[in-house]
Amino acid sequence: MKFLIIFSAAVCFVAGQDFDCPDKNGFYGDPYQCDLYYKCTKGKAESRLCPDGLVFADENPNKELCDIPSNVDCGDRKELQEPKPSKGCPRQNGYFRHPDPQACDKFYFCSDGVPNEHPCPPGLFFDEETSNCDWKESVPRQCDKVTKDVLDDGFSCPDGEVQGPNGRALPHPTFPHPEDCQKFYICRNGVQPQKGSCPSGKVYNEDTFMCDDAEKVPGCENYFEGQSQDKNKLPKKA
């Protein structure tokens, strides 16, 4: 699972430094600092910095591209600007491991210092070296007890794949609520639990993984007895 983040133009300018521009106009990386580069115009260099967390991709001088470090071969350009960390983000931009050491199957995507939590697909762990989700066996991390997300009513996504009616694994399997025929649970990517509810007049059918007529679902035939069948009425929130 490969992630890509490219900034077509970095707008952070730094103080001019001694840099010998080639004859051809274009964008050239600093020989020592991977997130520093120069716009060369008629032999004159203008210094620029990638957004914090990104580095300059110097393969094509005609393109001004900043990307995540795992997508760029910095070579001898080992130096970087001072990080600007924020809560959950070691740097302002990029993909980073989850702060919970046991949450190996989750990661943070940081954009301008704002963290966004994402799950890996089932069975994969996040590898910070490559910014990818990879098979557990290939990721150098120790997660003996992977932390699961748990809803306020105690539901968490079960382990293993769920086969759909066609025999294929469901990417976002659903599960019945133990007490309410109209409600159900969704497991995004098989690991991230979320509450769901069928529309008025329908109940959840665990055989088809869909909302269905009450009379077609054993045990839920009388669910709507005494209730309004107004189709415009929204179901109660879970």
C-alpha distance from residue 23 to each of 49, 61, 66, 129, 176 (Å): 22, 12, 23, 36, 68
Query: What is the pLDDT, as a whole number, of residue 13?
Result: 46
Structure confidence at residue 144 (pLDDT): 67
Whether 133 contacts 121, CB under 8 Å: yes
Asked whether the CA dihedral 2, 8, 14, 17 is positive or negative, the reply is: positive
pTM over 0.85, yes/no: no
pLDDT at position 235: 39
Q: Tens-digit pLDDT profile for the chain (238 aa)?
A: 544 444 433 445 444 457 999 999 999 999 999 999 999 999 999 999 999 999 999 999 999 999 999 999 999 999 999 999 999 999 999 999 998 888 888 899 999 999 999 888 877 889 988 999 998 888 888 776 666 788 999 999 888 888 888 888 888 899 999 999 999 999 987 888 999 999 989 999 999 999 999 999 999 999 988 665 444 443 333 3
Rounded to an integer, what distance in angstroms lies between the CA atom of residue 22 and that of residue 40?
A: 8
Name the DSSP letter for residue 198: P
pLDDT of residue 232: 40
Q: Could you tell me the two tokens for 35?
A: 């997130």
